């Protein structure tokens, strides 16, 4: 993990492309940069092209800000190419910036919304200088997702698996010494002509307290100028992985196992960031849980109370017996302002089946304790979890009514229940009666009791109840492109006429008309129906 102090040196350009949140700087880039600068002998330069394009985008900013259409837009290759074309000069300047940095290695952090743009930029870099070594890493590069496919892309020389710190030092050492990528655990090497070399997995980091503080120096100017949407906010990670192994989730597997920093380590990083960036007023915990290690959390709170930093913090939390009223009050005194709590279902039977075992009484006691302490609580819900029956869904509605007095917001998943590759559900689809696990969004059960349309109806009924209860949705910036999704569903089902009707409606009413019309044009339907087009 750590390179020797002496030896040949090289440099890496760390790149983040559209589209990602513009609330605060990229924690991934800041963390990787700090590792290269503090734990290796090499140099790192960060390039926030996500921010550059967002600030130049004008009306196109909606493709970042509205997460409902963002999930459609950034996966559509033609849409990404059109956006690049509208900002071609900026795109070309991004390529030049990478090349002029003099970095032989170019590392892209890739989550799903960034994938197509990152590939286009990598191809452009390779066209101008084929000698640059391009490495893709991040969640989307897992083997279960796009990792194997990306490793065969002409513009990608290697894919990094898992945690970047576990491989970056050895990668850069190899390039500095030999001018090429080394065959080390944590890499899949592109050998050319469709051949790859999978070097296996690198062991996860064992001691998170030794991880250097995130280095936001490359973003200092943008932070000072207030160019991020959440003024004075920075991301922080107090843990990796998840203390719970929910069967619908893939994140805990990506991180291999749960590890937490100690309370002192978390506090010291916050203090460092506040001193380095004096305008910092709040922190977002980007970890899957803030309370996966309650002892560390309590120690962190004790330090925040005894030596206040004058900041507030947000995060995600689990219902756990260790979350006593005393600890919750301590969190509030330490600056905790908001927690998103994963309830997912009001049915205790379904939660047990998803390996998320807590009672409704325990959940309500926790939410009530947050309210009493002055911490805003958001409850997250899913719809159509495998095994969910009508009675289970009615329990979810009943839970929402019961918990309403303690909630400041609700999150109703617009993906209902998506089957993530690498999740337990995906790997054990037959156990749940799922017909085709590869239909990750439009999956259905063999008995027909759980289909996309069933999940949609439950989502809409839940939203109607939340509105009657005057319960705000946390996702005000998330539209729900219902007509586009129904068009996609019926196209998948082989019903082109019904699909066409919904794509036309989407083109008239929703924010991705070009994509809806393209999908309409691809349907095999009678010429008269296809030619009708959207009505004005």
- Cβ-based neighbours of 386, under 8 Å, separated by 6 or more: 353, 417, 425, 432, 433, 434, 445, 450
Nearest to 241 by CA among 232, 250, 233, 230: 250
DSSP labels, 22-77:
-SS--HHHHHHHHHHHHHSSSEEEEEEHHHHHHHH-GGGGHHHH-HHHHHHHTT-H
Q: How confident is the model at residue 532 (pLDDT cuts 50, 70, 90)?
A: very low
Residue 397 has pLDDT above 60, yes or no: yes
39-55 average pLDDT score: 97
Q: How confident is the model at residue 250 (pLDDT cuts 50, 70, 90)?
A: confident
Let me know: does 344 contact 380? Beta carbons within 8 Å.
Answer: yes
Residue 529 has pLDDT above 70, yes or no: no
CA 290, CA 446: separation in Å to the nearest integer?
A: 38
Nearest to 186 by CA among 168, 202, 173, 172: 202
Residues in the chain: 536
Q: Which residues pair with 150 in a beta bridge?
A: none
Let me know: does 366 contact 337? Beta carbons within 8 Å.
Answer: no
- The whole-chain average pLDDT of the chain stands at 93
Residue 535 has pLDDT above 80, yes or no: no
Domains and CATH numbers, the chain: 11-198 (3.40.50.2300), 232-417+450-480 (3.80.30.20), 491-532 (no CATH)
Q: Report the pLDDT value the prediction gives residue 511, as an integer from 0 to 100.
A: 87
Residue 256 has pLDDT above 70, yes or no: yes
Q: Report the pLDDT value the prediction gives residue 526, as an integer from 0 to 100.
A: 59
Residue 152 has pLDDT above 50, yes or no: yes
* CA 417 to chain CA mean position, Å: 16
Q: Report the pLDDT value the prediction gives residue 528, as an integer from 0 to 100.
A: 47
Q: Report the pLDDT value the prediction gives residue 237, as an integer from 0 to 100.
A: 95
224-247 average pLDDT score: 93
């Amino acid at each position: 993990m750590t390179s020797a102090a002496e030896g040949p040196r090289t440099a890496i350009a760390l790149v983040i492309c559209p589209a990602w949140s513009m609330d605060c700087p990229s924690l991934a880039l800041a963390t990787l940069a700090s590792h290269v600068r503090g734990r290796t002998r090499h140099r790192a330069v960060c390039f926030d092209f996500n921010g550059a394009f967002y600030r130049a985008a004008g009306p196109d900013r909606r493709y970042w800000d509205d997460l409902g259409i963002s999930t459609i837009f950034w996966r559509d290759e033609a849409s990404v190419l059109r956006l690049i074309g509208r900002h071609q000069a900026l795109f070309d300047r991004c390529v030049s910036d990478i090349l002029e940095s003099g970095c032989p290695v170019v590392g892209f952090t890739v989550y799903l919304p960034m994938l197509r743009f990152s590939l286009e930029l990598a191809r452009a870099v390779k066209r101008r200088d084929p000698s640059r070594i391009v490495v893709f890493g991040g969640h989307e590069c897992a083997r279960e997702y796009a990792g194997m496919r990306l490793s065969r892309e002409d513009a990608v020389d290697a894919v990094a698996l898992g945690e970047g710190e576990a491989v970056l030092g050895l990668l850069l050492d190899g390039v500095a010494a030999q001018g090429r990528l080394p065959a080390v655990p944590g890499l899949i090497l592109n050998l050319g002509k469709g051949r790859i070399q999978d070097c296996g997995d690198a062991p996860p980091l064992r001691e998170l307290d030794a991880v250097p503080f995130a280095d936001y120096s490359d973003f200092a100017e943008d932070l000072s100028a207030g160019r991020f949407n959440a003024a004075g906010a920075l991301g922080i990670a107090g843990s990796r992985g998840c203390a719970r192994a929910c069967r619908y989730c893939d994140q805990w597997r990506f991180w291999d196992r749960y590890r937490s920093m100690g309370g002192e380590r978390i506090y010291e990083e916050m203090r460092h960031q506040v001193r380095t960036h004096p305008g910092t007023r709040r922190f977002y915990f980007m970890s899957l849980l803030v309370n996966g290690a309650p002892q560390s959390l309590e120690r962190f709170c004790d330090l925040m109370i005894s030596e206040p930093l004058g900041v507030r913090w947000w995060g995600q939390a689990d219902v756990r017996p260790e979350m006593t009223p005393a600890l919750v009050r301590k969190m509030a005194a330490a600056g905790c302002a908001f927690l998103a709590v994963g309830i997912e279902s009001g049915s205790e039977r379904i939660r047990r089946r998803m390996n998320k075992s807590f009672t409704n009484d325990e959940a309500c006691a926790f939410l009530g304790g947050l309210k009493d302490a002055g911490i805003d609580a958001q409850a997250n819900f899913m719809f159509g979890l495998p095994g969910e029956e009508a009675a289970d869904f009615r329990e979810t509605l009943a839970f929402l009514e019961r918990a309403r007095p303690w909630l400041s917001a609700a999150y109703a998943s617009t993906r209902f229940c998506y089957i993530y590759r690498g999740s337990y559900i995906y790997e054990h689809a037959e156990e749940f009666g799922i017909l085709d696990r590869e239909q990750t969004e439009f999956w259905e059960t063999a008995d027909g009791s759980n289909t996309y349309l069933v999940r949609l109806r439950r989502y809409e009924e839940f939203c109607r109840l939340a509105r009657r209860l005057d319960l705000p949705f946390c996702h005000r910036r998330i539209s729900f492109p219902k007509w586009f999704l129904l068009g996609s569903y019926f196209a998948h089902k082989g019903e082109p006429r019904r699909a066409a009707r919904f794509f036309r409606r989407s083109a008239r009413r929703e924010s991705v008309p070009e994509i809806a019309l393209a999908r309409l044009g691809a349907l095999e339907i009678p010429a008269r129906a296809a030619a009708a087009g959207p009505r004005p």
